[in-house]
DNA sequence: CGGTTAATTGACCCACTTCAAGCGCGGTGG
DNA sequence: CCACCGCGCTTGAAGTGGGTCAATTAACCG
């Protein structure tokens, strides 16, 4: 059963960047197919798959990751509700990475056939879906910069700011507090660091009182300072409402 | 003056992934607007710009890059002829990075208004353009993995393989030889390394005879070995012809 | 032939890794 | 109700990949 309100985080995400007509909303609702659930640490899609649906994340967190020959893992993206975890599989067809659940998650699937129909009937909506995948690309680029040219501390600070702003923008965080079900091991896989070093860097941020992080609960006591530390500005999140 | 054959590298690139109809080719030709030239190290677009055209690279090489607070540069993508250097600006509107010329380059501009028209009249072609930007994303992800989880040597080996395969696929390299107008400084900005270390790593590859690199000319005497070193397979380049 | 940019080399340093051990806590089963 | 287990967090010690600084050489160029 597809409940209309399920799409709210997605509509919200789109409407942060442009306006959506009612017909477009309806078209998206009609394109939605199936409600699926996954347990924490389950894989939604596996590298090499040729999925015939794309999954919109409704609740929980997921990550895109790859494994290297030596068994190391690199997480290349984190998804929050309202994100398509694999909209790019619509054009790429084959998965170049896996998608795993960081927590228990619920998704809504969109058959590629239905997405194709949207590209045939709703050009503006198509451009918005296209936009969603280019937003992914912008975050990838920002991560490359953080990984290649900033210290571990700066990188972590940046990640915290970015994740907070993404959650906040869809109404899932506020007052500089958020809940993030991610282990230090996983954080290392995001940042390209060892878990041990993540721990040390995190303690460094705590010592400066740049973040308060207890279990899953994170608080940012001084946003401006953490943002400066991480060289964070929200530019690469494109939270600007423009005709697209 | 737009000469039809200018679009050949682009058609070639698209046709490696799907079939293009004659109408679609014509539509692309009509959408092309202006021929532009840039000198090596000039910027085609600057971070923060709101361009109203996207540029298709015809000859030469360009890079996408960002500068950090401390003046470090990170290159997040390299473009070869047939690549759109900023197709994502069509949906993103604002540039989250600059694009610089690595050599003298020629591009063909496509006004966003003309691209919009394509999205309204040519759904399949639209999906192919969308595909081009998701291909960028796949390369970004692969770079994140290489940067976060492989050694400098592996990373460089991977970059050489990837670049060769991209050039080879559009007919600009063959027999495991290519010409790459890139300095060790710039290579460092690609890999997230210092120029000094790039030099050492390159010499290490030379010592193993994994690459022969003299000036701009590169030869890969043993492809399988370099690919194994860099954990390279072409999967993330999606050189598979499929209906999209 | 001087001037400039790129490649190279050496010496030293440090950010981050690896390995290893200990700790805290929630969950489970007897 | 408690003992035990396992996972995630924390800490220490030692090693290393890659950075920085500085000087030299090579290649090019007008």
B141: which chain A residues are within 8 Å (Cβ-Cβ)? 64, 66, 76-77, 96-97, 140
Residue A99 has pLDDT above 70, yes or no: yes
User: What is the model's pLDDT at position A1?
Assistant: 62
Tell me: the pLDDT tens digits for A4-52? 788 999 999 999 999 999 999 999 999 999 999 999 999 999 999 999 9
Residue B199 has pLDDT above 80, yes or no: yes
Say if A71 is an interface residue toward chain B (CB within 8 Å).
no
Mean pLDDT in residue range B102-129: 98
- Average pLDDT value over all residues in chain B: 96
User: What token pair was written down for B126?
Assistant: 């639209």
User: What is the model's pLDDT at position A5?
Assistant: 83
Residue A182, CA atoms < 13 Å, CB-side half-sphere? 28
Nearest to A186 by CA among B141, B155, B76, B148: B148
| Mutual angle of helices B184-191 and B152-169, in 10-degree steps | 100
Residues A241 and A18: beta-carbon distance below 8 Å = yes
Mean pLDDT in residue range B21-25: 97
| Mutual angle of helices B8-15 and B22-31, in 10-degree steps | 140
Residue A214 has pLDDT above 80, yes or no: yes
A144: which chain B residues are within 8 Å (Cβ-Cβ)? 74, 76, 140, 143-144, 147, 192
User: What token pair was written down for B76?
Assistant: 């997040």
User: What token pair was written down for B173?
Assistant: 């390299």
| Mutual angle of helices A152-169 and A123-149, in 10-degree steps | 160
Mean pLDDT in residue range A70-96: 97
Q: Report the distance separating Cα A114 and Cα A243, nearest Å.
A: 24
Q: What CA dihedral angle connects A224, A225, A228 and A234, to 10 degrees?
A: -30
Residues A148 and B192: beta-carbon distance below 8 Å = yes
- Average pLDDT value over all residues in chain A: 96
User: What is the model's pLDDT at position B118?
Assistant: 98
Tell me: the pLDDT tens digits for B88-99? 999 999 999 999
User: What is the model's pLDDT at position A4?
Assistant: 72
Buried b (16+ CB within 10 A) or exposed e, B172-199: bbeebebebebebebbbbbbbbeeeebe
Residue partners of B172: CB distance under 8 A and separation at least 6: B9, B80, B81, B178
User: What token pair was written down for B217?
Assistant: 């000319």
Q: Rounded to 5 degrees, what angle do the CA atoms A160, A192, A64 make?
A: 75
Tell me which H or E stretch contains A70: none
Q: Between residues 97 and 156 of chain A, which touch chain B (CB distance below 8 Å)?
A: 97, 116, 119-120, 123, 126-127, 130-131, 133-138, 140-145, 147-150
Residue B133 has pLDDT above 90, yes or no: yes
Mean pLDDT in residue range A209-231: 96
């Amino acid at each position: 059963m597809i409940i209309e309100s399920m799409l709210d985080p997605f509509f919200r995400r789109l409407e942060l960047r442009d306006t959506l007509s009612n017909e477009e909303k309806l078209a998206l609702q009609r394109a939605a197919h199936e409600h699926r659930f996954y347990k924490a640490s389950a894989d939604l899609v596996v590298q090499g798959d040729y999925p015939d649906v794309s999954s919109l994340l409704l609740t929980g967190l997921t990550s895109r990751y790859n494994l290297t020959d030596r068994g190391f893992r690199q997480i290349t993206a984190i998804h929050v509700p309202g994100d398509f975890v694999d909209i790019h599989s619509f054009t790429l067809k084959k998965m170049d990475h896996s998608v795993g659940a960081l927590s228990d998650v619920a998704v809504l699937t969109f058959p590629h056939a239905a997405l194709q129909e949207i590209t045939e009937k709703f050009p503006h909506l198509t451009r918005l879906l296209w936009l969603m995948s280019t937003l992914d690309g912008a975050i990838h680029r920002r991560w490359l910069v953080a990984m290649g040219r900033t210290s571990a501390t700066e990188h972590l600070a940046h990640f915290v700011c970015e994740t907070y702003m993404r959650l906040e923008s869809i109404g899932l965080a506020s007052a500089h507090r958020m809940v993030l079900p991610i282990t230090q091991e996983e954080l290392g896989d995001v940042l390209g660091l060892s878990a041990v070093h993540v721990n040390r860097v995190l303690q460094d941020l705590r010592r400066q009182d740049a973040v308060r992080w207890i279990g899953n609960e994170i608080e940012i006591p001084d946003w401006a300072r953490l943002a400066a530390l991480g060289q964070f500005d929200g530019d690469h999140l494109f939270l600007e409402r423009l005709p697209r």
